[in-house]
Amino acid sequence: MENVLDVKVGVFMSKLIAKNPGESEFHQAAKEVVESIMPFVEENPKYKHARILERITEPERVIMFRVPWLDDKGEIQVNRGFRIEMNSAIGPYKGGLRFHPTVNLGILKFLAFEQVFKNSLTTLPMGGGKGGSDFDPKGKSDNEVMRFCQSFMNELYRHIGGDTDIPAGDIGVGGREIGFLFGQYKKIKNEFTGVLTGKGLEWGGSLIRPEATGYGAVYFAEEMIKTKGDDLKGKIAAVSGSGNVAQYSVEKINQLGGKAVTLSDSGGYIYDPDGIDNEKLAYVMELKNIKRGRIKEYADKYKVKYVEGERPWKEKCDIALPSATQNEINEEDAEALVKNGCVAVSEGANMPSTPEAVEVFLKAKILFGPGKAANAGGVAVSGLEMTQNSMRLPWSREEVDNRLRMIMTNIHETCVKYGKDKSGFINYVIGANIGGFIKVADAMIAQGVV
Ligand code: NDP
Ligand code: 2IT
């Protein structure tokens, strides 16, 4: 017989799917949270009476807009821009912008939804939002990227502000794009405020923000491993992606005595059994951030294996740090990781594991840190950038890094508090979902039916 809670989740999800057709990633993210939280809501009727689950899955506001721009040939291009303002119960909307050809409403709603819980877990006063465009920065000149960003901001500026909604980077949006977006906002509004995070150090950015997501995901992995009385020394790490999150994950693994052996991009992955040391990492940073080349070039340069069209999960590793994109670890990948002795997965990316993959990790009882906990270091340091902007005082590298480390440790403790079962197993999925939910839900109740 089906359990009553399963039936309730089923009914809730049927309504959500009917109301948000075709948004498969949003359905996936919502289902995971609703499954985790339903028992807690049933035990705490105040959340049921206030219909928090119904309200928290409905964005406060969705903005969609046309982004026309001129390419280098003088031809007109048209993209679509979005900003999802998901929840402002505990602070202004906060979350990144993604520029990638696959971007659509459902993907951004999943990301904005995850962001609400993630931001709550950081303990900082930030609501949740996400935005972006189906613009593809690949193969575009700097001038084309600038013209696109300016056009994007020509509309976005009316919806954001330092106390309203503060965007940042995500896939396809790094320091270059934040610069162009900030310049245009400043020109339109004639004000220099902390309206975006991930800014350059000379103009209001925070030390450690570029590093924060990757460092944070490795700190989280370390906290998980510590619960087994172990540390990262000598551990072999499989990392996917080769952008912002992947690069600084490798840097922190190296600092903590581990060895990263893989990196990837949408073309394939490299496997370097000797480890991606700091010198090779500097090459990757130059290749990806300046030359904007492909990871295959690493294999050509260092004469290591390159596997086209594949992801690195079948390589033997102790820890996995998926740092590219959603649904990049499927059931078969998860089984291969577990079979090869992987003891911890710390999600640098947002929702990189499919529900089937998560099931495999939880069944095998390995340490599984879901993205909303493990990759919260990025937005946490964005929050610290906002604090410094408000104070008009920059903090030292050490100060920001110490705070980041403390925040990741606190998030880990929250997951343990709400996710540890009677047998002592820590279900970080349940821990992160309930831990992130409570503060937002209580704030929503306190603020009435709005
Ligand atoms: P970048 O744009 O810097 O790098 C993205 C990397 O992932 C690239 O190597 C890219 O390869 C690869 N990738 C992107 N899409 C796909 C795809 N569909 N299939 C295969 N590979 C893909 O982005 P970030 O490093 O900033 O972001 C990576 C992940 O981390 C995302 O899930 C993001 O949401 C998440 N994240 C980012 C934070 C941040 O602060 N930046 C904070 C928290 C989470 P290619 O170049 O070939 O496209
Ligand atoms: O997914 C994320 O947390 C981010 N892309 C970072 C968001 C932010 O506001 O720094």
Q: For residue 255, count other CB atoms closer than 10 A to its CB.
A: 12
Testing ligand 1's pocket by substitution, the residue of 84, 266, 333 carrying the most ligand atoms inside 8 A of its CB is 266
- For residue 241 and ligand 1, the question of a CB distance below 6 A is answered with yes
Domains of the chain: 61-192 (3.40.50.10860), 212-369 (3.40.50.720)
Tokens at 395, concatenated = 């903090």
Q: For residue 253, count other CB atoms closer than 10 A to its CB.
A: 29
> Which is it for strands 165-168 and 93-99: parallel, antiparallel or unpaired?
parallel
CA of 324 relative to ligand 2 center, distance in Å? 14
Q: Name the amino acid, one letter, at 359.
A: E
> Smallest Cα–Cα separation from 166: which of 21, 381, 398?
381
- For residue 382 and ligand 2, the question of a CB distance below 6 A is answered with yes
Query: Looking at ligand 1, which atom is closest to the CA of residue 348?
Result: 30
- For residue 265 and ligand 1, the question of a CB distance below 6 A is answered with yes
- For residue 244 and ligand 1, the question of a CB distance below 6 A is answered with yes
DSSP states along 111-123: HHHHHHHHHHHTT
Identify the pLDDT of residue 2: 66
Identify the pLDDT of residue 432: 98
- For residue 379 and ligand 2, the question of a CB distance below 6 A is answered with yes
Nearest Cα residue to atom 9 of ligand 2: 95
Model confidence over 48-106: pLDDT tens digits? 999 999 999 999 999 999 999 999 999 999 999 999 999 999 999 999 999 999 999 99
- Give the CA distances from residue 304 to residues 170, 277, 288, in Å, rounded to whole numbers and listed in that order: 29, 14, 18
Identify the pLDDT of residue 251: 98
- For residue 170 and ligand 2, the question of a CB distance below 6 A is answered with yes
∠ CA 82-87-89, rounded to 5°:
150
Tokens at 284, concatenated = 């990757």
- For residue 378 and ligand 2, the question of a CB distance below 6 A is answered with yes
Model confidence over 279-290: pLDDT tens digits? 999 999 999 999
Model confidence over 328-339: pLDDT tens digits? 999 999 999 999
Nearest Cα residue to atom 27 of ligand 1: 171
Testing ligand 1's pocket by substitution, the residue of 110, 176, 177, 265 carrying the most ligand atoms inside 8 A of its CB is 265
Q: Does residue 34 register a pLDDT over 70?
A: yes
CA of 94 relative to ligand 2 center, distance in Å? 8
Identify the pLDDT of residue 85: 99
Identify the pLDDT of residue 69: 98
Identify the pLDDT of residue 198: 98
Query: Looking at ligand 2, which atom is closest to the CA of residue 94?
Result: 9
Which percentage of the chain shows pLDDT scores above 70? Answer: 100
Tell me if the pTM is above 0.95.
yes
Ligand index nearest the alpha carbon of residue 383 = 2
Ligand index nearest the alpha carbon of residue 213 = 1
- For residue 128 and ligand 2, the question of a CB distance below 6 A is answered with no
- For residue 245 and ligand 1, the question of a CB distance below 6 A is answered with yes
How far is C-alpha 27 from the geometric centre of its chain's CA atoms? 17
Q: Does residue 1 register a pLDDT over 60?
A: no
- Give the CA distances from residue 248 to residues 251, 254, 268, 331, 375, in Å, rounded to whole numbers and listed in that order: 5, 10, 20, 27, 12
Ligand index nearest the alpha carbon of residue 177 = 1
CA of 372 relative to ligand 2 center, distance in Å? 10
Catalytic positions, written as ranges = 130
Mean pLDDT of 196-218: 98
Mean pLDDT of 271-282: 98
Q: Does residue 415 register a pLDDT over 80?
A: yes
Residue 439: pLDDT band by 50, 70, 90 thresholds?
very high
Q: What are phi and psi of 328, to 5 degrees?
A: -95, -5
Mean predicted lDDT score pLDDT of the chain? 98
Query: Looking at ligand 2, which atom is closest to the CA of residue 209?
Result: 10
Query: Looking at ligand 2, which atom is closest to the CA of residue 167?
Result: 9
- For residue 168 and ligand 2, the question of a CB distance below 6 A is answered with yes
> Which is it for strands 128-133 and 268-271: parallel, antiparallel or unpaired?
unpaired
Which percentage of the chain shows pLDDT scores above 90? Answer: 100
Residues in the chain: 450
Q: Does residue 159 register a pLDDT over 90?
A: yes
Tokens at 361, concatenated = 């990790």
Ligand index nearest the alpha carbon of residue 349 = 1
Give 270-328 as a 3 state SS string.
EECCCCCCHHHHHHHHHHHHHCCCCCHHHHHHHCCEEEECCCHHHCCCCEEECCCCCCC
DSSP states along 6-42: HHHHHHHHHHHHHHSTT-HHHHHHHHHHHHHHHHHHH
